[in-house]
Amino acid sequence: METADDFFIHVPGELTGDVVGFETQAYPVDAPEETFKVEYWEEKGIIEDDYINHLMAGKLKSELSELISPILGRDIKIDAGYDNGAWGNMPDTKYTPATLTGDYDYSALVDVYVKQTKSIDKMAEAKNIDLIQRSLLQKGLEDVMIAFYYMSPDEFELIEQIRKEDEENNLYQICRASASCIVASGRVDKGEVVDGYNQILTEFDVYREAPYQPEE
**143-182: pLDDT as tens digits:** 899 989 888 888 888 877 776 665 555 555 556 545 567 7
In a domain, 171, yes or no: yes
My answer on whether 145 and 180 are in the same domain is yes
My answer on whether 185 and 197 are in the same domain is yes
My answer on whether 69 and 114 are in the same domain is yes
With 80 as the cut, is the pLDDT of residue 117 above it? yes
My answer on whether 126 and 85 are in the same domain is yes
Of residues 83 and 17, more confidence is placed in 83
Number of domains, the chain: 2
Over the range 13-36, which residues count as b (16 or more CB within 10 Å of their CB) and which as e?
eeeeeeebbeebbbbeeeeeeebb
Of residues 131 and 51, more confidence is placed in 131
Range of the domain at 190: 52-202
At residue 208, φ and ψ (nearest 5 deg) are -140, 145
Note the pLDDT tens digit of each residue in 72-99.
Answer: 999 999 988 888 655 455 656 667 777 7
